[in-house]
Structure 1
Amino acid sequence: MNMIVYGAVMNINRGNPFHKEVVLDSWPDFKAVITRRQKEVETDNLDHYTNAYAVFYKDVKAYQQLLEEHDVINWDQVFQIQGLQSDLYDVSKAVANTKQLHVKLTSFRAVHFASVPTLPDISSLLGSPPRLTYLSVTDADLLNRTWSRGGNELCLRYIANLISSFPSVCVRDDRGSPVSWSITDQFATMCHGYTLPEHRRKGYSRLVALTLARKLQSRGFPSQGNVLDDNTASISLLKSVHAEFLPCRFHRLIFTPTLYSSSLIAKRNAGIHFVFPEHSSAP
């Protein structure tokens, strides 16, 4: 089972804050597994951030059969599928074409951090400043504005839910504002590692990444992530902390039914307003 599905299953067993469930082709000798949102949970049909599936299969035909089965995937909404297998896009797109959905693929280098005993020491980075702490949902707007996948109200809600549900790490300035951070997503993947431009070259990104990796491992989670091939700064950072670049790649597929035009999504997105709780519950 790959790390993405493993992370999702671990979150299911740790309170299941994103209301996930597991679908298998057979049991106990399964050949394909999909994690998805529980069907009875209310969902927003345009929210591909939350409407997310993680997949793993030993037999691509078994995975295709799951896709084609009635009610395994909600093909009437915008959603994403994440996985590590090289033929994930081809088989998923073939089924999506029969259901008139557009598929957008983004592929990343998959990364795994070493175990805690072999992680680089961070004691020299723990001065004053920086003030190392965790994020609050009141910081969600800043993260939304700085994330390459963000800048919209659906992502704002998603980030607030991640902060409320899963471990995060940030460095705050003397006014209490975050200047460097990383969060954990619904698949226990480290994501949105970012440092404000005026605070770079101070070691904050290294401190945040290693601290979050240690925090996840201390709770029994994998410390995993992904990075775009052209993100040279992050790749250099990961190499400097001896992260392992896996031979497989991380793939994110976003599916959009043809009935949802981009203009409709943009209009719907602009009209959403949310109220968030005042404090994070995930130190």
Structure 2
Amino acid sequence: MLVLNCPTKLLILEKMLKSHFPESLKVYGAVMNINRGNPFQKEVVLDSWPDFKAVITRRQKETETDDLDHYTNAYAVFYKDARAYQWLLEEKDVINWNQVFQIQGLQSELCDVSKAVANSKQLSVKLSSFKAVCFSPVSTLPDTSSLMTSPPQLTYLSVADADLLNRTWSRGGNEQCLRYIANLISCFPSVCVRNDKGNPVSWGLTDQFATMCHGYTLPEHRRKGYSRLVALTLAKKLQSRGFPSQGNVLDDNMASLNLLKSVHAEILPCRFHRLILTPAAFSS
């Protein structure tokens, strides 16, 4: 195991990962954030350097964590050889197996390898799988002139909005998610439409892996074009900073799939996999 903390080598790694798109997108996004101030306090672990076969991004060891916070306790994985990934998983001190955490990536063997090692350590595993998508370069946006000077107004999220986002996110509704969303809003790009009272009615934000996430419009404000506007504006914001504009969508989320089709987003050939792993001590 090798922790890569040399700034020059991290920039080299970023370029190397780019040649392995789309499977490397999650790790690439995390490494890009590390190389641009590291707001989420991440670090990179590899099996070797420079000829690595597996790379994992994780929270820095010295950061304070909540053992129940699988949102923040998140690992992104890319490998050239699934066996190297398994060896890295099995190495001491690469993964904190004593807390609830998630592993995510865009490669099919990720699930079986992760589950096998987790089962050997008596952790339960919950798997979710999504279509992975990437936005084409956004050259033009819908007309927003009416949203610049008077409500509804196109702007960005603030930490004060975290409670609303926590209550409306299908993965949320708990203390850990509330804190996580507040951190995302503080650290990464977001977009929202606010009504005449200044409250968000439609929004999207970016996570620690530079993934567009929690795109949502309140039911009473749907069919007004807000979701399309928010998605394209956020994608363009990410692209202007050099990031890929990528996301994940459930197979049965037809509203989001139709929106993505209308803006010519590409459904990637690989799928996004997220595993939430829970030690026996925290299993209900």
TM-score by structure 2 length? 0.90
Residue 110 (structure 2) aligns with: 88
1:127 aligns with one of 146, 160, 163: 146
Secondary structure class of the residue paired with 1:148: coil
Q: Is 1:102 aligned to 2:124, yes or no?
A: yes
**Mapped contact 1:125–1:203 kept (Cα < 8 A):** no
Unpaired runs of 5+ in structure 2?
1-16, 18-23
| 1:1-283 correspondence to structure 2 within 5 Å | 1=17, 2-117=24-139, 121-128=140-147, 129-262=151-284
Work out the percentage of aligned pairs sharing the same amino acid. Answer: 81
**Where in structure 1 do 4 or more consecutive aligned residues deviate above 6 Å?**
none
**How many residue pairs align between the two structures?**
259
**Mapped contact 2:104–2:273 kept (Cα < 8 A):** yes
Q: CA deviation at 1:125?
A: 4.5
Q: CA deviation at 1:14?
A: 1.1
Secondary structure class of the residue paired with 2:86: helix
Secondary structure class of the residue paired with 2:166: helix
Question: What do you get for the CA RMSD once the two structures are aligned?
Answer: 0.9
**Mapped contact 1:109–1:249 kept (Cα < 8 A):** yes
Look up the equivalent residue of 1:122 and give its one-letter code. Answer: L
Unpaired runs of 5+ in structure 1?
263-283
Residue 3 (structure 2) aligns with: none
**Mapped contact 2:138–2:232 kept (Cα < 8 A):** no
Q: CA deviation at 1:34?
A: 0.2
TM-score by structure 1 length? 0.90
- Measure the CA separation in 2 of the matches of 1:152 and 1:42: 19
**Mapped contact 2:131–2:268 kept (Cα < 8 A):** yes
Q: CA deviation at 1:40?
A: 1.1
Q: CA deviation at 1:172?
A: 0.3
The CA deviation string for residues 224-279 of structure 1, in whole angstroms up to 9 with x for no partner, is 000000100000000000000001000000000011123xxxxxxxxxxxxxxxxx
Secondary structure class of the residue paired with 1:103: strand
